[in-house]
């Protein structure tokens, strides 16, 4: 795993310690918000209005807060929440309950339609023509859907996103992969919300949204995080799966994924911390006062716009599946690795995870308890994490043993300082019958054809365990591993999961895992809503 952030974390800790010596004056806790119970049988569609602060004025916009995946309005009404900060700064506020507040998450179409209704209600309640919105994570996508697709754009002046996965999240891809699908199903994390956050689903959403004039009628600020919640935390291990810099749930590239959006800030904090007032209120609040849509200074360059082809790098090894009694998985590591970090997630605390080196040395995992932390990535929240760290691991075949019953596991092995596989795919969204191509380049290393396996093709489905629909054959051509295939005829989202084994200059084999997420649209170029 890339530990380039270690020094910056140490400096941040020193800065925090210094700040605690000179604490800021305490702010008053805001009175409880008032419920507008528009859904007596549940929470979906309910909304709240915050107390009007004594220093409120018509010069300050009304703020509607929109939370993210599997969250409720309490994201904002909590210790170190934005509600207290906004109240003390003199803002009138409102909150909304989306489908996620009733249990399973809603996709952007379900949540966006209801949010559009609430936006109009909030504007009417306060007697204003336009309001501003602060949205965390998927709440930014739900907000954009309400504005662009459900007619709420005339009622909103400014949207400030906080780590919104505008291009989706690879963690959502993983939830439906051949490796992690079993565990995600047991944890109950495969629902309409997670499904819609897959990167190919979001690529299709962008094609339906970004070319509409309504997408530019509201000024949208974007913010990204690059931190985590500490070494061996779930957000720390998520860095292995997410491309480039990220906050443990959303990559910076995805957070800044609107070509017409305005970059607000990037900060070395986690996905949960970015919605905490002490971390970001002072960065968000000044943007709320800017009414002009003409700001261009930090606008995303058109060069950042996604191209038809995608190129990613992989330095991870992935394993997963059902656990009944004893499960054994193997993989190869090369010499010269600085550190190998392993996070094996299970649903049961009774499941035992052991890593065995080529020479027979056994490494017992350090187990975490199930976390209630608001900062843990929602997609694998409630999982038990089994951590193993190996400094300068020996070269050869390693073995993972998982012992348990009625369980499932998902292993993420992150290689720090080793070889990388460069993956190139033709595109993310196809029409039925299209030809697709994916290639893997291992640089100066050879590809071991004797260990070449077929790639498993699975379809993303809610409420069902991952099952292999087909296998894609690969061949070595011009030092690249290439797979050509015809995409399925049934519209939906799919994952192509496989390992590639390379041989380095010393003749040592090494394993890297690839997951390619793509979508097949219907005749109208859309996916199921």
3-state secondary structure 226-251: CCCCCCCCHHHHHCCCCCCCECCCCE
Would you state the pLDDT for residue 353?
A: 98
Residue 346's H or E segment, with its range, is strand 339-346
Which residues lie below 8 Å from residue 79, measured CB to CB, with a gap of 6+?
none
Q: Which of 277, 325, 299 is nearest to 77 (CA)?
A: 277
Please give the C-alpha separations between residue 31 and each of 52, 55, 86, 122, 173, in angstroms, as whole numbers: 9, 14, 12, 18, 40
Would you state the pLDDT for residue 231?
A: 73
Per DSSP, helices labelled H in 244-296 are: 252-255, 277-288
Would you state the pLDDT for residue 373?
A: 55
Identify the segments of the chain with pLDDT beneath 70: 1-26, 290-310, 369-378, 451-453, 465-466
Tokens representing 156 are 């909103």
- HEC states along 145-185? HHHHHCCCHHHEEEEEEECCCCCCCHHHHHHCCCCCHHHHH
Q: How far apart are CA 182 and CA 213, in angstroms?
A: 41
CB 455 within 8 A of CB 483: yes
Q: What stretches of 426-508 adopt beta strand conformation (E)?
A: 429-431, 435-441, 446-447, 455-459, 468-472, 474-477, 480-486, 492-503
Which residues lie below 8 Å from residue 507, measured CB to CB, with a gap of 6+?
none
**How is residue 299 annotated by DSSP?**
B
Which residues lie below 8 Å from residue 15, measured CB to CB, with a gap of 6+?
none
Please give the C-alpha separations between residue 441 and each of 100, 428, 445, 447, in angstroms, as whole numbers: 41, 19, 9, 9
**pTM recorded for the entire structure:** 0.90
Residue with tokens 């020479």: 359
Would you state the pLDDT for residue 379?
A: 80
Q: How far apart are CA 388 and CA 382, in angstroms?
A: 19
CB 148 within 8 A of CB 71: no
Would you state the pLDDT for residue 371?
A: 55
What are the structural domains of the chain? 34-224+237-298 (3.40.50.1820), 307-315+419-529 (2.60.40.1930), 336-411 (2.60.40)
Q: How far apart are CA 394 and CA 220, in angstroms?
A: 49
Tokens representing 68 are 């993210």
For 330-340, b/e burial (b = at least 16 CB within 10 A) is ebbbbeebebb
Tokens representing 497 are 């999961």
């Amino acid at each position: 795993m890339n530990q380039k952030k270690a020094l910056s974390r140490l400096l941040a800790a020193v800065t925090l310690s210094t700040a605690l010596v000179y604490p800021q004056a305490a702010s008053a806790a805001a009175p409880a918000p008032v419920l507008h119970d528009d859904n007596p049988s549940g929470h979906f569609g309910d909304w709240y209005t915050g107390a009007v602060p004594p220093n409120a004025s018509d010069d300050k916009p009304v703020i509607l807060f929109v939370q993210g995946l599997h969250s409720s309005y309490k994201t904002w009404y909590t210790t170190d929440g934005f509600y207290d900060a906004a109240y003390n700064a003199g803002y009138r506020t409102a909150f909304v309950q989306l489908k996620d507040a009733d249990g399973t998450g809603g996709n952007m179409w379900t949540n966006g339609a209801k949010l559009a209704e609430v936006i109009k209600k909030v504007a009417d309640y306060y007697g204003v023509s336009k309001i501003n919105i602060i949205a965390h994570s998927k709440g930014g996508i739900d907000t954009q859907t309400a504005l662009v697709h459900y007619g709420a754009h005339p009622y909103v002046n400014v949207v400030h996103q906080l780590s919104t996965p505008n291009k989706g999240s690879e963690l959502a891809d993983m939830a439906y992969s051949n490796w992690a699908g079993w565990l995600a199903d047991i944890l109950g994390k495969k629902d309409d919300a997670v499904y819609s956050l897959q990167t190919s689903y979001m690529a299709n959403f962008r094609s339906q949204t970004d070319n509409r004039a309504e997408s530019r009628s509201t000024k949208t600020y974007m913010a990204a995080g690059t931190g985590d919640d500490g070494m061996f935390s779930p957000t720390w291990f998520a860095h292995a799966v997410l491309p480039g810099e990220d906050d443990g749930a959303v990559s910076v590239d995805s957070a800044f994924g609107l070509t017409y959006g305005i970059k607000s800030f990037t900060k070395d904090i986690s996905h949960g911390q970015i919605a905490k007032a002490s971390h970001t209120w002072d960065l968000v609040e000044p943007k709320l006062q800017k009414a002009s849509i003409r700001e261009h200074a930090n606008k995303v360059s058109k060069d950042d716009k996604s191209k038809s082809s995608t190129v990613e790098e992989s330095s991870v090894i992935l394993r997963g599946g059902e656990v009944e009694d004893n499960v054994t998985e193997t993989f190869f590591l090369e010499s010269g690795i600085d550190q190998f970090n392993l996070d094996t997630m299970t649903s049961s605390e009774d499941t035992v995870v052991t890593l065995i080196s080529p020479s027979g040395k056994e490494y017992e995992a350090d187990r975490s308890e199930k976390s209630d932390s608001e900062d843990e990535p929602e997609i694998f929240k409630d999982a038990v994490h089994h951590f193993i760290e190996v400094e300068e691991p020996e070269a050869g075949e390693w073995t993972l043993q998982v012992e348990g019953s009625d369980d499932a596991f998902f292993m993420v092995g992150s290689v720090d300082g080793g070889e990388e596989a460069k993956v190139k795919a033709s595109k993310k969204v196809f029409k039925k019958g299209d030809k697709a191509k994916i290639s893997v380049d291992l640089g100066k290393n050879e590809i071991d054809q004797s260990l070449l396996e077929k790639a498993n093709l699975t379809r993303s489905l809610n409420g069902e365990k991952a099952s292999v629909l087909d296998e894609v054959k690969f061949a070595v051509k011009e030092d690249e591993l290439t797979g050509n295939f015809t995409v399925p005829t049934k519209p939906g989202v799919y994952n192509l999961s496989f390992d590639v084994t390379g041989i380095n200059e010393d003749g040592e084999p090494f394993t890297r895992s690839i997951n390619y997420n793509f979508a097949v649209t219907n005749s109208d170029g859309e996916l199921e809503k």
